[in-house]
Amino acid sequence: MIEFYIPMKIPGKQRARVTKYGTYTPKETVNAEASIQTIAIGRMLETGFKKIERPIEVHVSIVIYRLPPKSWSKKKQKRAIEGYIRPTTKPDLDNQEKTIFDALSGVIYDDDSQITQKTISKIYWHVDGARVIIW
């Protein structure tokens, strides 16, 4: 098992762009995936965790933290952090999960097709980030 925290706002995975010069992945996605990989590799080195090789299945739990909007009243922000209000704004949860899954492919596990069980949630918290647990 490996657990780590990603201290950044998790962007949704953006689709590849096609131009007359070829296909490219938007910079925001490339930068986010690189940051997540760096954090994961650092945690692997700290803990001695070895990459999960095929055909072993992978289970993932992710909690994505979002700051409540500053335009909200203090009372509403407090209720959001207490869990009474959940984020229903973009980026979509499935696109954020894809950013994390793709970043960890080839690092924590061979390919995200190994993921057979997942629990993903998005909540308001005091900081943006994500807690990832993989076993």
CATH T-level fold of 2-134: 60s Ribosomal Protein L30; Chain: A; (3.30.1330)
Per-residue pLDDT reduced to its tens digit, 29-70: 999 999 999 999 999 999 999 999 999 999 999 999 999 999
Average pLDDT, the chain: 97
Enumerate the domain spans of the chain: 2-134
Residue whose token pair is 């289970």: 59
CB 114 within 8 A of CB 52: yes
For the chain, what's the residue count?
Answer: 135
- Report which residue type is found at 133: I
CA 67 to chain centre: 15
Q: How confident is the model at residue 75, as a pLDDT?
A: 98
From the list 68, 70, 74, the residue with the least C-alpha distance to 125 is 68
